[in-house]
Chains A and B, each alone.
Chain A
Amino acid sequence: MKVLIPGISTPIARLFAKRLAERGDQVVGVDRRGWPDAPANIEVHKVDVRKRAAEDVFRKLRPDAVVHMATVSHFAEVTEERYRINLGGTQAVFEHCQNYGVPHVVFVGRHTFYGAGPESPLYHVEEEPPLALASFPELADLVAADLHASNALWRHPEMATTVLRFCYTFGVTGHGTLAGFVRGKRVPTVAGFDPLFQFMHESDVVRALELAIDKAPRGVFNVAGPAPVPLSMIIRLTGRTRVPLPEPLLAAMLGRFGLPKLARGAIEHLKYPVLVDHAAFRRATGFVHEVDERGAIDSFARAFPV
């Protein structure tokens, strides 16, 4: 199978690309950051997915599947450029897929689509709208990209579109929102709140992506692994120290005194959980996680000791 991966230089995308190459797929990547030491059997084009040169890759390769992983969160990119990457990039990927007859496209999104809030249901299903957007405007571009990808289901019925809303990644790469948040020795929390976090190990993320391109299910799917774990327990089991702070104090201190920099709206995610029901993805692909919650936590703790 010829698989094109926009956004191939992220740690997860690299693992996924290597896995596909191992099993004999032809893998081509597009990323403005490049991948200097990419394995010889993976072709990488250092180009922005919104540029003409990226379109050429679609034209020449005529991929069987495109896995769009070129979105960034507000942690990685704080400027307006993020809007252009997430929305403009997604728009470009879907246009190219349609123009060059790509039979299957996978959009790799995030479960934070649903937002966190005191009146949110504990588990979100795919039919729910992104209700908590008002409290976290920094998520708007990712939500819009997700919705743009989702409406390809009716805009381009000739193309199989799979929209995946992944929970947090947690494990050896240290990549991802949750891993970044608990990376330091001391982890701030909102005093009196201890939300559940749902995460999965990188190897399971890769397996879920593999199943997504093999089974090509049409639709929007939440993807998660083991049972969720309270944030306080993640902090304790990774050997970190929890620093509970009253909410106004935490809001004032974020980004200072060595504390992680977070958007104001992200504080809601430190108070209330965002959990997803992934039964539909399990039914569509047969996915079952292999690394349990303890395994993922331990592998992160070993890779990033304090």
Chain B
Amino acid sequence: MALLIHPDIAARVDRLEIPWSSVGVDPYGVEKVTLSRFFSGLRWFYRHYFRVRVTGAEHIPARGRGMLIGNHSGGVAIDGAMVLASCMLELEPPRLAQGMAEKFIEQIPFAAMTTSRCGQFTGLPENAERLLRDDRLLMVFPEGARGTAKLYHQRDSLVDFGTGFMRLALATGTPIVPFAVCGAGDALPTVYNAYEIGRAFGVPYLPFTPWLLPIPVPAKISIHYGEPLRFEGTGREDDEIVHSYVEEVKSRVAQLIEFGRSQP
């Protein structure tokens, strides 16, 4: 295939069960060549830089809709990128997990273009629901931007989960696969978030590390997937009920973080 594409990734992208059009684009604008380049780059980080170790990947449904729900492990989007890579590299057939990006990304030149060609869309409920009804695999970090803003000493903690994902899961009958990412906070230890400077650049904040720039060090990262959780409902339940379901998912993610931290 084309330049900068690893043969293993090219073969895996070919095995993705995605309805490519005659020009190699899916109905959501995911483009085969860009996707292959993106994952070829991620593969190197996944295998050689962060030496990612994964447990429980068999819990991710091989086909059909699914929602991966997990923790932000600090810093920038290393956690999400490694979860995407694990679905592409550890599953057979491989799957494209599709993240729900922060809205501000859509307005940043080049960022929006790259994310959407790789299947990562603005986190709008309409987009998420459409993808699920189309039997795609969604990756959601219910902690949102507050989760990536965690400082080094908070890296393995959880902040409040939003409830939107649960209403969506109930409305679409989607199984939830909880996961924990451990170690991304060590790769990119945030010591200070500059909110004012960030806003000037059109992003929520700029993270600073002890070496100032948000450049990750090659710390080991692990990802732990748990058994799927299924909730019955319509998505129109009272807040108290939805909150109780969300707490159940959150406590499962917390257990998986503990499990991850206990691993050698």
Contact = CB atoms under 8 A, between A and B. Distances in A.
Interface of A: 118-119, 121-123, 190-194, 196, 226-230, 233, 237, 247, 272-273, 292-295, 297
B21 A293 contact: yes
Given A228-B25, A273-B29, A294-B23, A119 B113 contact: no
User: How many of chain B's residues touch chain A, expressed as a range?
Assistant: 20 to 34
Contacts of B113: 192-194
Given A194-B113, A194-B117, A122 B28 contact: yes
A284 B217 CA distance: 57
Contacts of B31: 230, 233
A118 B130 contact: no
B109 A191 contact: yes
B112 A192 contact: yes
Interface in B173-215: none
A279 B118 CA distance: 25
Contact of A122 (B25, B108, B111, B127): B127
A230 B117 contact: yes
B255 interface: no
B251 interface: no
A227 B27 contact: yes
B26 A227 contact: yes
A121 B124 contact: yes
Contacts of A196: 25, 29
Contacts of A292: 21-22
Contact of B23 (A123, A194, A272, A293): A293
Contacts of B28: 122
Contacts of A247: 109
Contacts, number: 73
Scoring B23, B113, B122 by chain A CB atoms within 10 A of each residue's CB, the highest score goes to: B23
Contacts of B124: 119, 121
Contacts of B15: none
14 contacts: A119-B106, A123-B130, A191-B109, A192-B108, A192-B111, A192-B113, A193-B112, A194-B113, A226-B22, A228-B25, A229-B21, A230-B31, A247-B109, A293-B22
A229 B25 contact: yes
A272 B105 CA distance: 12
Given A193-B109, A229-B25, 11 more contacts: A121-B127, A122-B122, A191-B109, A194-B113, A196-B29, A227-B26, A233-B25, A247-B109, A272-B106, A292-B21, A293-B25
B165 interface: no
Contacts of A191: 109-110
Q: What 5 A-B pairs have minimum CB-CB distances, sorted nearest first? A: A192-B109, A121-B126, A294-B22, A118-B106, A227-B21
Contacts of B236: none
A131 to B, nearest CB: 12
Nearest to B131: A122
A230 B130 contact: no
Nearest to A118: B106
Contact of A227 (B25, B108, B122): B25
Interface string B84-121: 00000000000000000001001111111100010001
B209 to A, nearest CB: 26
A191 B110 CA distance: 8
B23 A122 contact: no
Interface in B26-40: 26-29, 31
A237 B23 CA distance: 9
A233 B109 contact: no
